[in-house]
Amino acid sequence: MKRYLLDHLVSLIIVILMMALSYFMADAFQTSRQFIYGMLVVEGIGCLSLFLYDFLRKHFFYQDLHNKLTHLDQKYLLNEMLERPRFYEGQVLYDTLYQANKSMNEHLAEYERELTDYKDFIEMWIHQVKTPIASLSLLLHHEHNQKALTQLNRIENYTSQVLYYIRSQSKTKDYLIKEVNLSDVVNHVLVRNKDDLLAYGFDFQIDPLDVNVYSDAKWLEFILDQIVSNAIKYRKEHPVLKIYTKEDQDHLSLMIEDHGLGIKASDLPQVFKNSYTGYNGHIESKATGMGLFIVKKLCDALGHQVSIDSKEGSYTIVTITFGKHDYFIN
């Protein structure tokens, strides 16, 4: 109310001056005191009613605007939540917000179109690059060139990271949830990494995994491939890779355990952050910190839980948990 009165101070002064002028003019014409006082009371009540009506309708509109602005998480939707007021200043504000919101939406739509085109181009480029990578891989296998194969596998892994990062950022669901056999997915991942696993002398301890879960086979394969690649990258002498499952009444967990460098306790809370490499990243200079970040995003999109337990210099266990009932078939 105080701000309203200050905003209308000039109008109030003019009203008071006009009432004073009316008083002196009536007095100059020798009008009775009772009539003058009655006239001033009527004028005062009329002006007070006018100011009160104007204040209340503006107060309710701006109070509603303030409350919605305070409680809205997506504040750009404010204009959609308001009703167009009847008073002029409010209509000007409402129309201004509408035009600003419309302009922003058009700009965002154009930006999203450009971003979609860019993502489509990158995805198409990656698919085209994978063809010569596969051809080179066959050629290097034939020539038994393990060093070149290792570097080629790095290139393929990095291109896959870019591809799945783009897919994880997409608003449209680029995955298909269906029944997936864990044994088949794990075998595909091990076959893809067999050259490095055999070259570095990994001891495999793979439990029977003939169980089915609901997931996207390609996405899950990429997730496991990133985890196995990390086990290879951060190995020690006499490396060990264990893959097994645990289950309770509501969940089934796939555990990927390696006896490698492990992760420092101070780094564990950060491992799923974008581009976070931690202490091991200083040891492995080519580490990007993107692998586990993408793994977390894909697991979130698929409705799976992922966690890491590790002891520096001893082991790392990555656990992917699938829900039973609607998401699990035994």
Residue-wise burial string across 131-154, b where 16 or more C-beta atoms lie within 10 A, e elsewhere: eeeeebbeebeeeeeeeebeebbe
- For residues 256 and 319, membership in a common domain is answered with yes
Q: Write down the pLDDT at residue 279.
A: 67
Q: Write down the pLDDT at residue 320.
A: 96
Both tokens assigned to 98: 């509408």
- For residues 22 and 97, membership in a common domain is answered with yes
- For residues 12 and 89, membership in a common domain is answered with yes
Q: How confident is the model at residue 115 (pLDDT cuts 50, 70, 90)?
A: confident
Q: State the average pLDDT over residues 175-190.
A: 91
SS3 of 111-162: the string is: HHHHHHHHHHHHHHHHHHHHHHHHHHHHHHHHHCCHHHHHHHHHHHHHHHHH
> Which strands, in side-by-side order, build the sheet including 251-258?
203-206, 240-247, 251-258, 315-323, 305-311
Q: Write down the pLDDT at residue 172.
A: 61
329 assigned to some structural domain: no
Q: How confident is the model at residue 329 (pLDDT cuts 50, 70, 90)?
A: very low
Taking the mean position of all CA atoms in its chain, how far away is CA 322? 22
Q: Outline where DSSP puts E strands in the chain.
A: 178-181, 203-206, 212-215, 240-247, 251-258, 305-311, 315-323, 328-329
The β-bridge relationship of strands 240-247 and 203-206 is parallel
β-bridge mates for residue 136, sequence order: none
136 assigned to some structural domain: yes
- Tell me the range of 16-30, 130-144, 177-191 where mean pLDDT is highest: 177-191
Distance CA 124, CA 117 (A): 10
The burial of 126, by beta-carbon neighbours within 10 Å (0-12 exposed, 13-18 middle, 19 or more buried), is given as middle
Distance CA 290, CA 169 (A): 14
Task: Kindly report the length of the chain.
Answer: 330
Q: How confident is the model at residue 328 (pLDDT cuts 50, 70, 90)?
A: very low
Mean residue pLDDT across the chain:
84
Domain stop point among 149, 169, 189: 169
Q: State the average pLDDT over residues 26-39.
A: 76
Q: Is the pLDDT of residue 185 over 90?
A: yes
Q: Is the pLDDT of residue 275 over 90?
A: no
Distance CA 160, CA 150 (A): 15
Q: How many domains does the chain have?
A: 3
236-256 pLDDT tens trace: 889 999 999 998 888 899 999
Q: Residue type for 169, please? A: Q
Q: Write down the pLDDT at residue 281.
A: 58
Q: Write down the pLDDT at residue 187.
A: 94
Q: Is 70 left (phi over 0), alpha (psi -120 to 50) or beta?
A: alpha
Both tokens assigned to 298: 């894909």
Q: Are 154 and 286 in contact (CB under 8 A)?
A: yes
285 assigned to some structural domain: yes
Higher pLDDT, 216 or 9: 216
Full-prediction pTM beyond 0.85?
Answer: no
- For residues 182 and 128, membership in a common domain is answered with no
- For residues 215 and 317, membership in a common domain is answered with yes
Q: Write down the pLDDT at residue 243.
A: 95
268 assigned to some structural domain: yes
The β-bridge relationship of strands 305-311 and 178-181 is unpaired
278-311 pLDDT tens trace: 666 555 656 667 889 999 999 998 999 999 999 9
- For residues 90 and 100, membership in a common domain is answered with yes
**307: phi then psi, degrees, rounded to nearest 5:** -145, 160
In the block, tokens 């939707």 appear at 77
Q: How confident is the model at residue 321 (pLDDT cuts 50, 70, 90)?
A: very high
Distance CA 57, CA 85 (A): 9
Distance CA 280, CA 215 (A): 31
328 assigned to some structural domain: no
DSSP string covering 60-80? HHHHHHHHHHHH-SSGGGHHH
Domain that holds residue 185: 178-323
Q: State the average pLDDT over residues 140-152.
A: 80
Q: Write down the pLDDT at residue 326.
A: 52
Q: State the average pLDDT over residues 161-172.
A: 79
- Please choose, from the candidates 250, 249, 251, 230, the residue with its C-alpha nearest in 3D space to the C-alpha of residue 241: 230
- For residues 98 and 115, membership in a common domain is answered with no
CA 4-7-11 angle, to 5 degrees, is 105
Q: State the average pLDDT over residues 128-148.
A: 82
Q: Is the pLDDT of residue 330 over 60?
A: no
Q: Are 15 and 47 in contact (CB under 8 A)?
A: yes
> Which strands, in side-by-side order, build the sheet including 328-329?
178-181, 212-215, 328-329
51-102 pLDDT tens trace: 888 888 888 888 888 888 888 888 777 888 888 888 888 888 888 888 988 8
Higher pLDDT, 216 or 326: 216
